[in-house]
A and B are shown apart, each in its own frame.
Chain A
Amino acid sequence: MNFNNEKVSLSQMGSILVLTMVGTGILTLPRSLAEAVGTDGWLLILIGGAICIGLLFIHSYIVKSFPGKSYMEIIACNLSKPVSYVVTALLAIYFIGLNAFLIRIFSEVVKMFLLLRTPIEVIIFSIVLMAAYLARQGIETLGRLAELLLPLILVPSLILFLLAMVGGDITNLLPAVTTTPKEILEALPIVIFSYLGFDIILIFGIYVNKPNKVIKSSTKALVFVVLLYTILNIVTISTFGEKQTTHLIWPTISLFKTIEFPGLFIENVEGFVMALWVLIVFMSIAPLLLVATTLLGDLFTVRDNKYFALPLLPLLYFIALLGDSLAEAYAYLEKFINYTAPFVLVIIPVSILISMFIRRRLRREGNTNV
């Protein structure tokens, strides 16, 4: 028997945000950045981070302004009720789609590095099952798990970065700042994709125990991720150089594979890295699944939205199997994100914000009807 008070602390929410963001981007970010802007990846990460902080600020501001209200209720009272149904449904599709692709990438990596002869279906199925188990336990469990895993993931990762740094050559980062503004603009979607996940604050905002402080803690979380990505990018480029990075499928794992401890019990850290990797990506998949179940629960106004966790399993499974090859799956993902992300990240929040300001203005003018 649980008490179901269903509240997470600010630090737990921050941990959820950090882990969700890290899982979506960490694996391929250095490669796609190197392909797009060469050695200036760090610059792009900072610019993209700044943009995302701006967006996150809007998101947190919305959450803060409507304490105790779910996102659907917020939309309903700002943009009318029919719109809220449509938007919530679209959001659910967005999160399910994003999650499915994440699961696909995860399974490909696990298959490639750990289970060469295991069918990918088994891997997909098992990870989704585990995520569904977590989603059924609710937000409190997720919050606690996130705060528990945050140091367990980050401390070893930072140590690994440091160790990898030893073999690097910092001059690989030169020449610096050679990209034109146009190139940067074109590459922005890549980097913003790597930050995806911060938008879950919109849906999880209702569960935060101190909503008036949510802006500060969520911004902190994003700044943290920006720093982490910057370190990752600098270390990767300085180890492999720009050209080689573009040829690696999973530059982060390749980076860690360069670390060796001859004579120690673990001669290569691959197994260790893969263990970390499972944790990292799981902590992206599970929150996204929980977000989707929460949205569906709001949409159908059920008493307990945990019942949606398992029925989503086959759906995720089939979407995750779309695309015969990894490249094809990536192409689908890009298309999907390009169509949906602006809508989720920018258009809806901004229109809520505008509506909020208009309503506030009207109220100030004495029109209590709105």
Chain B
Amino acid sequence: MGFWNRFFGGKKKGEDTVKTVPHKSIKKNLETIKEIMTDCDDIVYREVEIGTQNEFKAALIYVDGMADKMLLNKFVLNNLMVSSRMVEPNGENIKNQLYKQLKDHTLTVTELSEVESIEEAVGFMLSGETILLLDNYNKIIIVASKGFSSRSISEPSTETVIRGPRDGFTETFRVNTTLIRRRIRDSKLKVKSMQIGKRSKTDVAVMYIDDIVNKGILKEVNKRLKMIDIDTILDSGYIEQLIEDDWTSPFPQIQNTERPDVTASALYEGRVAIVVDNSPFVLLVPATINAMMQSSEDYYERWNIASAVRLLRYFAATISLILPSLYVAITSFHPQMIPTQLALVLAVNRKTVPFPAIVEALIMETTIELLREAGVRLPGPIGATIGIVGGLVIGQAAVEAGIVAPLMVIIVAVTAIASFAVPSYNVAIGFRLLRFLFIFAAGFLGLYGVMLAILLVLIHLCSLKSFNVPYLSPFVNYIDESGDLGDTFIRVPLIAMNNRNAHANDKQRNRMDDKRKEYFGIEEDK
């Protein structure tokens, strides 16, 4: 709690919301805005005269490049300056009716709103809308004209699947919420927007399905988001680090995904999604280690295959964590534990190696981490080449030079592959970091050290919570919630997944009434 307070508490919100009420005269208003936007050369001021006798002055102000110029030309300026002249004013004192006339009859734009302070209007303008100033009128009209170029929807590069939808989130906030909405055509899907970042004013939306979500978790999410007091949010990673439970942990306590189907499925499970503008990664809370070991494909493939893959993944995570340390422990402390034949082979292998096993393991692990990092930074084709050159050539040469045992190379390679089998990159990288801890523990205390390290990691994992949900659930409460184990090491058939997880709203636990059983004549065992 202390750190939380130190980070977010204490300071009261500064009084920076000065409000200038627009003047009646358009000239004064323009001057005020120009003064606010001094030296901002990307602002376009378009002053026009409207009315049959050109008797009214108006001005459009927008940020060049962020507003849709076609929309402004065709449906705002055209209507104001050309079309409006074709209609006879209906005799009344048009001066007083101007605003109503414009709003209801002239501007053929879907979204119009009015604001009562210049600062607010400037805020809208900076997010891509257009300000429409009118003479003799002390409110400001905002024309929704957001239209900047953005990346088109493409396949997410971090979570590729063989079977499943190919669309991924982009950097545009609205596109992302739309992708989710398309999968949940339910009025209960709520999108609560807010702006975070004192300067960046980044749009952030909290999405949830109202009657499934656990209200306690939702409240906590909103509370933590409101507590954020930072100048800018550049990516959802900022938000993740500012609202996570334990910042000292190597494990991510918030899941991120580039896939709308994963997000939708999480929402259906009663979780909360946080969509952040300018980031293709949507945050999902609460996150459990179990959720991070799942891939969306598991649910699209048949259950027995998915279960086998799940088991394989847990196995991969385990060996990516402990395999090198077991090698170190066994070769340096307990060679009697492995079969005699193998021990002999190992001894012959290691005869020329001039280092203790721990140094050997550290050299090879560091090399493979170097290769991985270099491979990420280099452009595609070169990255692959580096992998081959590094993996094959360095490994082979190191063995031939006699500084590393062949078995060590095999172990390092298997470990590296295993760590890439973990679906979440950020979990895998946590395991990778801890692997070094395990190697040191094994080097100092052998198998006992490895067990201590396992205990350390387990204790830490057990102490972790993500938004009040134990990080290791359902493995730590399976006796009471035995149904939840059906979606962990194995994935039970879809017809058996009748209930949502324990952290969803209790009243909405049931998600499926299976008619298949009656149809195919399978007796229910209840």
Which residues of A does B touch, CB under 8 Å?
1-3, 9-12, 14-15, 110, 114-115, 118, 122-123, 126-127, 130, 133-134, 137-138, 140-145, 147-149, 263-268, 270-271, 274-275, 278-279, 282
Q: A9-B480, A115-B333, A130-B452 are in contact. Are A148 and B462 (CB under 8 A)?
A: yes
**Which residues of A sit under 8 angstroms from B472, Cβ to Cβ?**
144, 148
**Which residues of B sit under 8 angstroms from A3, Cβ to Cβ?**
465, 468
Question: Would you call B80 an interface residue if the criterion is a C-beta within 8 Å of the partner chain's C-beta atoms?
Answer: no
Tally of contacts, chain A with chain B, CB under 8 A: 111
How distant is the Cα of A110 from the Cα of B455 in the complex, in angstroms? 16
How distant is the Cα of A267 from the Cα of B330 in the complex, in angstroms? 13
How distant is the Cα of A3 from the Cα of B220 in the complex, in angstroms? 11
Least CB distance from A224 to B in Å reads: 12
How distant is the Cα of A244 from the Cα of B476 in the complex, in angstroms? 40
**Which residues of A sit under 8 angstroms from B456, Cβ to Cβ?**
130, 133
14 sample A-B contacts, Cβ–Cβ < 8 Å, listed by A number: A1-B246, A9-B480, A11-B477, A11-B480, A12-B476, A12-B479, A115-B445, A138-B463, A141-B459, A143-B476, A147-B475, A148-B475, A148-B476, A267-B339
Question: Would you call B245 an interface residue if the criterion is a C-beta within 8 Å of the partner chain's C-beta atoms?
Answer: yes
Question: Would you call B280 an interface residue if the criterion is a C-beta within 8 Å of the partner chain's C-beta atoms?
Answer: no
How distant is the Cα of A10 from the Cα of B477 in the complex, in angstroms? 10
Q: A126 and B445: CB pair below 8 A?
A: yes
Q: A137 and B462: CB pair below 8 A?
A: yes
How distant is the Cα of A133 from the Cα of B1 in the complex, in angstroms? 18
How distant is the Cα of A140 from the Cα of B475 in the complex, in angstroms? 14
Q: B458 and A145: CB pair below 8 A?
A: yes
**Which residues of A sit under 8 angstroms from B447, Cβ to Cβ?**
114, 271, 274-275
Q: A1-B4, A12-B477, A275-B451 are in contact. Are A145 and B333 (CB under 8 A)?
A: no
Q: B463 and A2: CB pair below 8 A?
A: yes
Quick one: closest B residue to A267, CB to CB?
B339
Least CB distance from B463 to A in Å reads: 4
Question: Would you call B519 an interface residue if the criterion is a C-beta within 8 Å of the partner chain's C-beta atoms?
Answer: no
Question: Closest 7 A-B residue pairs measured CB to CB?
Answer: A11-B479, A144-B476, A271-B337, A137-B463, A144-B462, A267-B339, A141-B463
Q: A144-B462, A145-B462 are in contact. Are A9 and B477 (CB under 8 A)?
A: yes
**Which residues of B sit under 8 angstroms from A145, Cβ to Cβ?**
458-459, 462, 476
Of the listed residues A263, A266, A267, A270, the one surrounded by the most CB atoms of chain B closer than 10 A to its CB is A267
Q: A270 and B337: CB pair below 8 A?
A: yes
Quick one: closest B residue to A262, CB to CB?
B339
Question: Would you call B3 an interface residue if the criterion is a C-beta within 8 Å of the partner chain's C-beta atoms?
Answer: yes
Chain B residues with a Cβ closer than 8 Å to the other chain, count: 37
Question: Would you call B446 an interface residue if the criterion is a C-beta within 8 Å of the partner chain's C-beta atoms?
Answer: yes
**Which residues of A sit under 8 angstroms from B330, Cβ to Cβ?**
271
Least CB distance from A301 to B in Å reads: 20
**Which residues of B sit under 8 angstroms from A118, Cβ to Cβ?**
445
**Which residues of A sit under 8 angstroms from B445, Cβ to Cβ?**
115, 118, 122-123, 126
How distant is the Cα of A149 from the Cα of B458 in the complex, in angstroms? 9
Interface residues of B in 1-16 (CB under 8 A from A): 1, 3-4
Least CB distance from A159 to B in Å reads: 18
Interface residues of B in 226-259 (CB under 8 A from A): 245-246
Quick one: closest A residue to B451, CB to CB?
A278
Q: Which of A9, A122, A282 contacts B455 (CB 8 A)?
A: A282
Contact with A along B316-329 (1 / 0, CB 8 A): 00000000000000
Least CB distance from A150 to B in Å reads: 8
How distant is the Cα of A265 from the Cα of B338 in the complex, in angstroms? 7
Q: A141 and B462: CB pair below 8 A?
A: yes
Least CB distance from B466 to A in Å reads: 11
Quick one: closest B residue to A1, CB to CB?
B4
Question: Would you call B270 an interface residue if the criterion is a C-beta within 8 Å of the partner chain's C-beta atoms?
Answer: no
Least CB distance from B226 to A in Å reads: 15
Least CB distance from A107 to B in Å reads: 10
**12 new A-B pairs (CB below 8 Å) besides A265-B338, A274-B447?**
A1-B245, A11-B477, A114-B448, A126-B448, A127-B452, A133-B459, A137-B459, A138-B463, A147-B476, A149-B458, A266-B339, A271-B337
Question: Would you call B470 an interface residue if the criterion is a C-beta within 8 Å of the partner chain's C-beta atoms?
Answer: yes
Q: A114-B448, A274-B447 are in contact. Are A279 and B455 (CB under 8 A)?
A: yes
**Which residues of B sit under 8 angstroms from A149, Cβ to Cβ?**
458
Quick one: closest A residue to B470, CB to CB?
A144
Least CB distance from B144 to A in Å reads: 40
Quick one: closest A residue to B339, CB to CB?
A267
Q: A126 and B452: CB pair below 8 A?
A: yes
Question: Would you call B53 an interface residue if the criterion is a C-beta within 8 Å of the partner chain's C-beta atoms?
Answer: no
Least CB distance from B337 to A in Å reads: 4
Least CB distance from A147 to B in Å reads: 5
Quick one: closest B residue to A4, CB to CB?
B1
Question: Would you call B340 an interface residue if the criterion is a C-beta within 8 Å of the partner chain's C-beta atoms?
Answer: yes
Least CB distance from B150 to A in Å reads: 36
How distant is the Cα of A115 from the Cα of B463 in the complex, in angstroms? 30
Of the listed residues B245, B455, B470, B480, the one surrounded by the most CB atoms of chain A closer than 10 A to its CB is B455
Q: A130 and B455: CB pair below 8 A?
A: yes
Question: Would you call B85 an interface residue if the criterion is a C-beta within 8 Å of the partner chain's C-beta atoms?
Answer: no
Question: Would you call B334 an interface residue if the criterion is a C-beta within 8 Å of the partner chain's C-beta atoms?
Answer: yes
How distant is the Cα of A141 from the Cα of B337 in the complex, in angstroms? 33
Q: A279 and B462: CB pair below 8 A?
A: no
